[in-house]
Chains A and B, each alone.
Chain A
């Protein structure tokens, strides 16, 4: 879920190696302990605390002057954005040789330094293709509940397992960023796509002090690398708006993830072969009702002119993908985010009535594989189930669990596609956690009028009585008499109803009168839910929804290169393992 995020001007990385008395020393990007793929492009920036004289500067990389070390000249900006502070910027720097590098920057008085590790794949390319599945905000409880609802459980044993349960490699992943232990989808997806850690709200840039959101030091994405160096195709498939943080991290560079219009324009410039999701509002000219643009550009037409076949429904997307001549496919299926599986297949809530022909993530994945596999050089495909997170934020766990089952179904499509190939690295990973956990069951037949008395704990929980899953893998109903009891670790003031929200996605809190940034429990759930509970929030009242949590997330993987994942890894290892499987950096 897009969230209101304070855009802090200066979120510089930790700089080690400060000399004594260097309280106002330089800030250097990439930050200390950055891991950089040999041959990848990155911007170097040194920010000085005040205005400095160019001839007083001494900036070196492993002892060599910066310009000489990179073979190109850095730009000196005496007053960055008109402020009384100088910066040195070197765009599109490349280090081709692996090893340890120390960048030292002195203004004649203060000296600061950072150390980088430049690495390359240890061996030849082993993966022809890479498919990265992102379960946005997917918790361990999401996966457990998905298994209970989709596969069933009897006397403690599941009747069968999920597709993701059978992937041979696992690791726990640390999701923290350079600015905070708590991250967001922009920052964490950027780590997966570039191998660099940055700050909340940032997409493939370091969070420098630049005023313009598009002016921060950029780092190269895996999609850009594999096209540039290996001629591979790029696919982006999501259920969210295509400009949302996770899909945007495949191609975009901005300090502000809500830059939907610049992100749309960057998407056209990047020209990934397959683009599928919601978010057509940012493609439409301003005068068209439903548009979010401030100009009259019709970006769907611009994509058509760039050789894309456009599909706006499951049918047109499938037909376009089946055409052997289709090499570029743009599928947009909703003005905003696409509806979730629970609403599309069963409840018909949300915007399903307006957009009744949205494809399922399984169909999107199948169509993407069909188009991308036409490139003999291979492909990089990112598939996101984006609304696991969008429904965990408003504590709507049933919907987030259906999105988890949907992710697993899409994974099954990819596993079947790759089954006889042994040339495709498949990774399934959440980008951050939520505070969701399963306590037991809620049984309407337990005694009492207060709903909390109907929560079965320990042996009283027993097993839920959801109907068996249908052919799609979902139980056709969630409003059963003995259902899972799921609660979240953090929340705004809200009414806990202990029931699924059949009327449409949950809206736990709404703005208080005259205080646009202060939220209170949504009263609509009070009278309709006798026995419900007003829960007083435990996070600042400026939060309308639950927030991400810091716990590790679980990665699962299979295919060549997946053995890199074991034990604990940092989120940057997702990029590194993909790069290594593709033999990059050599």
Chain B
């Protein structure tokens, strides 16, 4: 799996490497998560992730949260406490109309890792997709 992913990246730099939610973190512990070898390797490269768009605050957004499962609640509306730990923040290349939280989507963007606080919202994330676009699948 790992080797196949590496070969794909090596042969086709412009193609997005598929990355699944269960590949994001190599270890889950009470004292924190650790990035997986795949994430370490793919950082800075174009990846494709499938998931669900958490209900955004605005009708038009260039920023949304990609989650593994459809989010039942709008986490922005309650508290950070409601977010699952394995989310990915997506920064879109251009604004788009959000899709329903139950519709599976595929997002492509440049993978960025490490703690980062969004200056506009104060939202803290560990993994982001930059210059991203999405489509329903």
Q: Are A and B a genuine interacting pair, yes or no?
A: yes
Q: What are the residues of chain B within 8 A of A125 when measuring CB–CB?
A: none
Measured CB to CB, the residues of A under 8 A from B are 2-4, 241, 243, 258, 260, 280-282, 284, 286-292, 294, 300, 312, 332-336, 351, 354-355, 394, 507-517, 519, 522-524, 544-545
| CB 8 Å contact bits of B69-102 with A (1 = contact, 0 = none) | 1111110111111111100000000000111111
Q: What are the residues of chain A within 8 A of B43 when measuring CB–CB?
A: none
Distance, CA A289 to CA B34, complexed state (A): 7
Q: A258-B79, A292-B81 are in contact. Are A513 and B101 (CB under 8 A)?
A: yes
Given pairs A513-B98, A516-B76, 18 additional interface contacts (CB within 8 A) = A2-B81, A2-B82, A282-B81, A284-B31, A284-B32, A286-B124, A287-B114, A288-B31, A288-B32, A291-B124, A312-B29, A354-B28, A355-B28, A507-B70, A510-B102, A516-B56, A522-B102, A524-B102
Q: A280-B30, A289-B32, A300-B31 are in contact. Are A514 and B73 (CB under 8 A)?
A: no
Most buried by A among B30, B59, B78, B101: B30
Distance, CA A151 to CA B99, complexed state (A): 48
Distance, CA A258 to CA B73, complexed state (A): 15
Taking CB atoms and an 8 Å cut-off, the chain B residues in 1-57 that contact chain A are 25, 28-35, 55-57
CB distance from A352 to the nearest CB of B (A): 11
**Complex contact A516–B31 (CB within 8 A):** no
Q: A4-B78, A312-B29 are in contact. Are A511 and B115 (CB under 8 A)?
A: no
Taking CB atoms and an 8 Å cut-off, the chain B residues in 97-137 that contact chain A are 97-102, 114-115, 117, 122, 124, 126
Q: A286-B124, A300-B31, A516-B56 are in contact. Are A544 and B72 (CB under 8 A)?
A: yes
Question: Which secondary structure dominates chain B's binding surface?
Answer: loop
**Complex contact B101–A511 (CB within 8 A):** yes
**Complex contact B30–A312 (CB within 8 A):** yes
Distance, CA A507 to CA B25, complexed state (A): 25
Distance, CA A516 to CA B82, complexed state (A): 14
**Complex contact B33–A290 (CB within 8 A):** yes
- CB nearest neighbor in B for A256: B79
Q: What are the residues of chain B within 8 A of A544 when measuring CB–CB?
A: 72-73
Distance, CA A336 to CA B85, complexed state (A): 9
Q: What are the residues of chain A within 8 A of B74 when measuring CB–CB?
A: 511, 516-517
- CB nearest neighbor in B for A335: B85
Instruction: List 20 contacting pairs A-B, 8 Å CB cutoff, sorted by A.
Output: A258-B81, A260-B81, A281-B85, A282-B81, A288-B32, A289-B25, A290-B85, A291-B115, A294-B117, A312-B31, A332-B30, A351-B28, A511-B55, A511-B72, A511-B73, A512-B100, A516-B56, A516-B77, A519-B72, A522-B102
Distance, CA A513 to CA B97, complexed state (A): 10
**Complex contact A289–B124 (CB within 8 A):** no
Q: A2-B82, A4-B78 are in contact. Are A289 and B126 (CB under 8 A)?
A: yes
Distance, CA A507 to CA B76, complexed state (A): 18
Distance, CA A292 to CA B73, complexed state (A): 18
- CB nearest neighbor in A for B74: A516
**Complex contact A511–B30 (CB within 8 A):** no
**Complex contact B72–A516 (CB within 8 A):** no
Q: What are the residues of chain A within 8 A of B28 when measuring CB–CB?
A: 290, 335, 351, 354-355
Most buried by B among A243, A289, A511: A289
Q: What are the residues of chain B within 8 A of A241 when measuring CB–CB?
A: 81
Q: What are the residues of chain B within 8 A of A509 when measuring CB–CB?
A: 72
Distance, CA A14 to CA B29, complexed state (A): 48
